Amino acid sequence: MEPDIPLPPRPALGRALRAWRQARRVKQGHAAELLHVSQATISRWESGRQSPSAREAARLREMLGATPDGAADAALLQLVVSSRLPVHLICDATHRLLAASRPRAQAWQVSPESLHGLSLWRYASEDIQHAERQLADLGWYEPAAAPVILSTGANRYAEVPIRPSQVRWTRLRLSDGSYARLVETMHSGSEPE
């Protein structure tokens, strides 16, 4: 069974939801309709007074997922794809693959095109899962978050292998107000998630 991606803490989740609404000019009432909750629930989520249930969290994660759009986002995707470094870009909320460099793709047994739009979370090593749960303590969800450097061991998946390595995660805001994560291998035996 695939582990759940941890949700950001309540204040960060509230900021993300508010940013999503503002970027799309969506009122709380309409967001409530989209998420099948009340307007008061949206208000409590945004203020950090309430956390969503597991079902609500799944819908919310999908709604807040990164959708690169616009010239700046297209340029970012092109920079990732054309990089000579082993890097890839994922949606910070869902871990869906947005782009991968050729050096990253060469380590995978499947093409980036076949993974595009799919969550890479299922391939996360135990170290990556642990690091994900620690992000709030590291200030990851703050507006000017510093990159996070972590060490990871191997995973058990041949199609998207993760080898023991040091990885840097950098959080980038996209034009729609959502966030992407640039994943760079710094030192390795090869490729991480």
Q: What angle do CA 21, 23, 26 make, to 5 degrees?
A: 35
Average pLDDT, stretch 94-107? 95
2-42 per-position pLDDT tens digit: 557 877 888 888 888 888 888 889 999 999 999 999 999 99
Domain ranges of the chain: 10-63, 71-188
Top pLDDT among 1 and 78 is at: 78
| Distance between CA atoms of residues 149 and 137, nearest Å | 14
Is the domain covering 71-188 a CATH 3.30.450.20 domain?
yes
Per residue in 90-123, is it b (16+ CB within 10 Å) or e — as a string? bbbbbbbbbbbbebbbebbeeebeebeeebbbeb
The pTM is what?
Answer: 0.85
What's the CATH fold of domain 10-63?
A: 434 Repressor (Amino-terminal Domain) (1.10.260)
- pLDDT score at 188: 58
CA pair distance 72, 74, nearest whole angstrom: 5
- Kindly report the average pLDDT of the chain as a whole number: 89
User: What confidence score (pLDDT) does residue 61 get?
Assistant: 84
The C-alpha atoms of residue 149 and residue 26 are separated, in whole angstroms, by 35
pLDDT in the model for residue 2: 52
Give the tens place of pLDDT for each residue, 132-178.
999 988 989 888 889 999 999 999 999 999 999 999 999 998 988 88
Determine the Cα–Cα distance for residues 118 and 133; give it in Å rounded to an integer. Answer: 21
Q: Is residue 147 left, alpha or beta, with left meaning phi > 0 and alpha meaning psi from -120 to 50?
A: beta
148 by DSSP, 3-state: which? strand
Cα 75 → chain centroid: 19
